[in-house]
Amino acid sequence: MISEKGFILENGVELPFLGFGTYKVAEETIILDALEAGYRHLDTARMYQNEKMIGNAIKNCGIQRRELFLTSKVWKGDLGYDNTLRSFEASIKDLGVQYLDMFLVHWPQSAPDADWKPVLTETWKAMERLYDEGAVAAIGVSNHLPHHLMHILKDCNTRPMVNQLEFHPGYAQSATTNFCLNQGIQVEAWSPLGRTRVLEDPLLLELAQKYGKTPAQICLRFCLQNNVLPLPKSSSMERMKQNLDIFDFDLSMEDVYRLTTMPETGWSGQHPEHF
Ligand SMILES: NC(=O)c1ccc[n+]([C@@H]2O[C@H](COP(=O)([O-])OP(=O)(O)OC[C@H]3O[C@@H](n4cnc5c(N)ncnc54)[C@H](OP(=O)(O)O)[C@@H]3O)[C@@H](O)[C@H]2O)c1
């Protein structure tokens, strides 16, 4: 669902239209710049090893905790009930906060041959406990394909509210995004710019010229018009601001379909069942 300010999750939690990606961000000044540029949703993960640095930025930014939306994730090497609870505790300790706005299961399985179903069941029970205890306002997953979600959905008490996926022109994962849309699960886009791999594509260049925008802005608008929440990362204030400046134009439906159906481009090579 959508409000004037952003997306609304199944349990009523609201989050801004865009979040700021922090993978490989190691400097506090970049987080402070992103907050100054206007981002309020920060996406991190235990695996990024930058939660302490982000915690310092949160302490020093002068913005109230309740104005921020903080997401972290439990890594695939830490799945299971106890490990998930431990990972959450480590994340909030390093971030220096009392609660998280969102906590995600980063990947559904630890290895290609892993017997993932019982481990994912236990992991999800821990996620539900954190949610029931009020330690986190929303729980969800990342890189989960429909069959992973079906396994969770079949006997969970609290449904996943979000699935964070690689999503950009040239890699729209339509089977999974449509499954999520039909299930009321909000999709977030990681690498919404294809980590720059799609920005020189001829179709992106054509549409950038047509709409008077940059290829990056076309990618981000493409996310929003698919009801997907993008998480662009940038280390430059100019590009951070550019990435927020996407609310003064609409892609035509024809162009959205052209971007959705273009040949596969810029895929990271990452897949939950292939390592
Ligand atoms: N759940 C997962 O498994 C998963 C996996 C990967 C990523 N993520 C999350 O998603 C976030 C974003 O993904 P990402 O960091 O992989 O890639 P991305 O946001 O698609 O691309 C980041 C790259 O694009 C450049 N860039 C940013 N804005 C630009 C613009 N307007 N014009 C041209 N270039 C621009 C950045 O360079 P500069 O820094 O120089 O601006 C950087 O090299 C991550 O930071 C992380 O939070 C999640």
Tell me, what's the pLDDT at 3? 82
| C-alpha 196 to ligand 1 mean position (Å) | 8
Pocket perturbation via mutation, ligand 1, pick of 33, 142, 173, 191 by most ligand atoms within 8 A of CB? 191
48 is annotated as an active-site residue: yes
Domain ranges of the chain: 6-261
DSSP track, the chain: -B-SSEEE-TTS-EEES--EE-TT---HHHHHHHHHHT--EEE--GGGT-HHHHHHHHHHS---GGG-EEEEEE-GGG-SHHHHHHHHHHHHHHHT-S-EEEEEES-S-SSTT--HHHHHHHHHHHHHHHHHTTSEEEEEEES--HHHHHHHHHH-SS---EEEEE-BTTB--HHHHHHHHHHTPEEEEESTTGGGTTTT-HHHHHHHHHHTS-HHHHHHHHHHHTTEEE----S-HHHHHHHH--SS----HHHHHHHHHSPP-S--S-BTTB-
Catalytic residue among 48, 99, 171, 211: 48
The one-digit pLDDT tens for each residue of the chain (275 residues) are 788 889 999 999 999 999 999 999 999 999 999 999 999 999 999 999 999 999 999 999 999 999 999 999 999 999 999 999 999 999 999 999 999 999 999 999 998 878 999 999 999 999 999 999 999 999 999 999 999 999 999 999 999 999 999 999 999 999 999 999 999 999 999 999 999 999 999 999 999 999 999 999 999 999 999 999 999 999 999 999 999 999 999 999 999 999 999 999 999 999 999 98
| C-alpha 192 to ligand 1 mean position (Å) | 7
| C-alpha 167 to ligand 1 mean position (Å) | 12
Pocket perturbation via mutation, ligand 1, pick of 46, 196, 200, 217 by most ligand atoms within 8 A of CB? 196
Which atom of ligand 1 is nearest to 192's Cα?
20
Closest residue to atom 41 of ligand 1, CA basis: 234
pTM of this structure: 0.98
Query: Which residues are near ligand 1 (CB < 6 Å)?
Result: 21-23, 43, 106, 142-143, 164, 190-196, 199, 214, 216, 231-236, 239, 242-243
Tell me, what's the pLDDT at 112? 82
Tell me, what's the pLDDT at 244? 98
Q: Which CATH class is domain 6-261?
A: alpha beta
